[in-house]
Structure 1
Amino acid sequence: MADPNHRHLPPLRPDRPPGPRLPLLDPYKAAPASFVVLSTPTLLAFLDILPLSAGHLLLCPRRHAPKLTDVDASEAAALGRYLRFLSKALVRATGVADWNVVQNNGAAAAQVVNHVHYHLIPRPEIRASGRMRESFTMFGRGVRSELDDDEGAALAVRLRETLRVVLDEEGRKGKL
């Protein structure tokens, strides 16, 4: 059964979190398209606009926190809880069984955006396809292509639907 004290937005309606609207972006600056997969009063998960692989997700707290040491205990707990749920949904939705979870703290640690966030990065097996000389991009190095809007929209829908199933399963187990 779901925890009655923990409200989350149904994954099919990620654009309207319950409660007051929280300012996330400067309304006077242009923002790139975003493909939200999960929205709770505490967290957001969305597709990376420069993905390392198809399905590359970012998970972050809504409240500004530059580094992991700046999140409070309840935010840290929510991040950990949803990392597991998003990981399970990511594997199911992409069909890729291996993935990285990466979280950088500070410029020397390759943190580019000054807001704590986790990367969930599917890692398709490239050797199985016969591309023995290829390697995958890691920690932002290498060629990254911009996320295609149509592909991003379709993938976000698939991820939200899969996440809804995962959350329903976990709720029946009493693990939320």
Structure 2
Amino acid sequence: MAPKTSITVPSPTDFDPGLPRSTSSTSPDSEPSCPFCHISAVFPPYNPSDPPSPTSPILNPELTSPQPSTFIILSTPHLVAFLDIMPLSVGHVLLCPRPHRPKLTDVSAAESAELGRYLRILSAAVVRATGIHDWNVVQNNGAAAAQVVPHMHFHVIPRPELRDQRSERFTATMFGRGQRDELDEEEGVALAERVRRAVAEVLRADEEAGAKL
């Protein structure tokens, strides 16, 4: 097994101007060969309620070069979410913890809570950004369960015209085995920006709803 390397683990104060900044610590929870660990290491967190400009260097899809471009849609101290580069449908996104967690049972309690929170927010944001109101949430554990990258992640997969699909094709594509086309770079930049804005809108709506209680 390849030796583990350290990655910078940002603190929540790194994107909250209302809190004092703290010194980032390092974590050994990274696998050098893992593409999702690479994404976690090169994209810093930002405040999802106020995402950076689409031209910001911290969102540059080529930061993951020589690995494929990455279109970030959410980056917190504990989680990252990005567009699937071989999507099953427009708006197919992946959500994962920053540290290397091979399976769902390896995720910490705190990470699990934040994954659950943002899974709902991302689902709502993808609906807003794509206009597609049906979707799958899929999470695979292990090669026999169709997990390709051994870094725990959720798929949020919009489902246009679901009723027109034959049942056998639906079963295959639901678990990530259907026809997949490579994401176009220009389309990825534009779509990622729409989803980031939608995430901010959902968070603001949640804040307003909470203030009315």
* Interval containing the TM-score (normalised by the shorter chain): 0.7 to 0.9
Deviation of 1:30 (Å): 1.6
Q: How many residues align?
A: 159
Alpha-carbon separation, structure 2, partners of 1:73 and 1:132 = 38
Task: Tell me the percent identity.
Answer: 60
Structure 1 71/132 Cα, relative in aligned 2: closer, same or farther at 3 Å? Answer: closer
Partner of 1:166: 202
Whether the aligned pair in 2 keeps the contact of 1:35 and 1:153 (CA below 8 Å) is: yes
1:107–1:132: structure 2 CA closer, same or farther, 3 Å change rule? closer
Name the residue aligned to 2:187. 151
CA distance in 1: counterparts of 2:111 and 2:175, whole angstroms: 24
Corresponding residue for residue 67 of structure 1: 103
Go from structure 1 to structure 2 and tell me whether the alpha carbon gap of 1:78 and 1:132 turns closer, same or farther (over 3 Å shift): closer
SS of equivalent to 1:174: helix
Report the AA paired with residue 71 of structure 1. V
Which residue matches 2:144?
108
2:47 matched to 1:10?
yes
CA contact (8 A) 2:91 2:157 kept: yes
Larger Rg: 2
Stretches of structure 2 that go unaligned for 5 or more consecutive residues are 1-11, 17-44
Query: Per-residue CA shift, 1:72-126, capped at 9, x if unaligned?
Result: 0000000000000001111111000000000001111111100000000000015
Partner of 2:73: 37
The normalised TM-score by structure 1 is 0.81
Once residues 166 and 72 of structure 1 are traced to their aligned partners in structure 2, the CA distance between those partners, rounded to angstroms, is 25
Does the 8 Å contact 1:9/1:16 carry over to 2?
A: no
- Aligned letter for 2:142? G
TM-score normalised by length of structure 2: 0.67
CA distance in 2, matches of 1:55, 1:80: 19
Q: Shift of residue 169 of structure 1?
A: 1.0
Which position in structure 2 is the counterpart of 1:22?
A: none
Cα displacement (A) at 1:133: 5.7
CA contact (8 A) 1:15 1:39 kept: no
Which stretch of the first structure deviates more once superposed, 154-163 or 5-14? 5-14
Please provide the CA RMSD for this pair.
2.5
Unaligned 5+ segments in structure 1 are: 18-26
Higher helix residue share: 2
